[in-house]
Amino acid sequence: MIRSLNSFDLKDKRVLIRVDYNVPVENGVVKDAYRIQCSIPTIKECLEAGASVVLMSHLGRPNGSTNDNYSMISVGEVLSDFLEIPIKFSHDCINEDSINVTIGLHPGEVHLLENLRFHTGEEENDFEFSRLLSKHGQIFINDAFGTSHRSHASNVGVTDNFMHKGMGLLMEKEIQYLMHKFKKPKEPLVLLLGGAKISDKIDMIERFIIKAKSILIGGGMTFTFLKAMGLNVGKSMIDESMISTAKTIIKKARQNRVKIKLPVDFVVSDAIDKPSKIETVSFDSIPDNMIGLDIGPETIKLFSNIILQSGTVLWNGPMGVFEKKEFENGTKSIANLLSDMKDQNIDTIVGGGDSASAIRKFSDIENITHVSTGGGASLELLGGKNLPAIAALEKL
């Protein structure tokens, strides 16, 4: 059993929280503060209970050495704005100075540590690095769901040094919706998959092929399925190495009476960038020189009708190249549909990465039952894997 935040007596304690502040930063400015915003409830709960808080995270890939481009300073500015208090910052996460700052904290104060990955010990899950990190807290809380599929010092090694450890509010919500809910989802369960890569969604398909009523497939991965069925896909993206896997999935779906629905029409174009010709065609008449870049209007209708009859819909992966205005319509329509379904007693769960960005770009995230903050971590958890950082919280 993993302890929840509210099971601890936090008064006058120093709480070390692993957060996920791996956010896009350009020229020292945070471009998307969503992950920082998601960490606020846990921090506030600790502060209101009379604790002081030490926050640690990685940012980007500095590969074990100090690099100003990956400094947490810009994150600290945004954090301070969200919390509406000044915060303390240390330029190194394990040196004596930083540990002294932590020891000097008063209840209600926050201390942000510099990027964990400025030390090789973080990704190596080094014993000594974990021990030094643990000096920052009397209680350890992991709220960094996005890195749970990694076995690093700050989310796995560090836990061996704590008697008192547990999950933050964000982590708890992710586990609730991506793990517990799917043990007994509201029926019928519909899976909507898209994006470019099939390979990282295979475990999820295998797991849900016996549970789901329908699996709807859009995005670039469609064309590997169409190819597996012997259809012409023009110049659309295909993954040759996945054709036989696609055939097996189609066969398994038939055996399990799961309906796999592929698009019935596509928006095709001569180019992704600066297209000179865009048209909508049926799935079986993609011209040789054209690329399929979005699902078409008939597919949007077909998918929407199935989604509206579901009890739970799990969405992972965009329906087209939604980064381009010309090819965003499929993804946008799905994002709007899920948002509009708010009052329909349907659980809408969005599994991180690009589909989460699409929800935030096109619709109202507040209307969705759960939008995961983790890309890879959510795929692995939904695929039925044990995530090392979650398992580490269960160890006594």
Binding site for ligand AMP (CB under 6 A): 194-197, 219-220, 237, 292-293, 317-318, 320-321, 323, 353-354
Q: Compare residues 197 and 211 and give the one whose CB is closer to ligand AMP.
A: 197
The closest residue (CB) to ligand AMP is 195
Burial (0-12, 13-18, 19+ Cβ within 10 Å), 257: exposed
The residue annotated as part of the active site, out of 197, 252, 324, 361, is 197
Measured CA to CA, the distance from residue 289 to residue 234 in angstroms comes to: 6
197 in active site? yes
Q: Compare residues 122 and 294 and give the one whose CB is closer to ligand AMP.
A: 294
Q: Compare residues 75 and 217 and give the one whose CB is closer to ligand AMP.
A: 217
Measured CA to CA, the distance from residue 106 to residue 192 in angstroms comes to: 48
The residue annotated as part of the active site, out of 13, 14, 35, 173, is 35
Q: List the one residue out of 74, 12, 11, 18 whose CA is nearest residue 390.
A: 18
353 in active site? yes
352 in active site? no
Starting at the edge strand found earlier in the chain, the sheet holding 88-90 runs: 88-90, 110-113, 52-56, 14-18, 139-142, 165-167
The residue annotated as part of the active site, out of 220, 320, 353, 375, is 353
Q: Compare residues 57 and 331 and give the one whose CB is closer to ligand AMP.
A: 331
395 in active site? no
Q: Do 159 and 283 touch, CB atoms closer than 8 A?
A: no
State the nearest-atom distance from the C-beta of 23 to ligand AMP, in Å: 18
State the nearest-atom distance from the C-beta of 305 to ligand AMP, in Å: 22
State the nearest-atom distance from the C-beta of 294 to ligand AMP, in Å: 7
CB atoms under 10 Å from CB of 196, counted, come to: 15
State the nearest-atom distance from the C-beta of 278 to ligand AMP, in Å: 13
Measured CA to CA, the distance from residue 52 to residue 15 in angstroms comes to: 6
State the nearest-atom distance from the C-beta of 47 to ligand AMP, in Å: 36
**b/e code 103-117 from CB counts within 10 Å (16+ = b):** eebebebbbbbbbbb
Q: Compare residues 137 and 353 and give the one whose CB is closer to ligand AMP.
A: 353
State the nearest-atom distance from the C-beta of 67 to ligand AMP, in Å: 26
Q: Compare residues 15 and 371 and give the one whose CB is closer to ligand AMP.
A: 371
The residue annotated as part of the active site, out of 64, 234, 311, 376, is 376
CB atoms under 10 Å from CB of 242, counted, come to: 19
> Which active-site residues does the annotation give?
35, 197, 353, 376
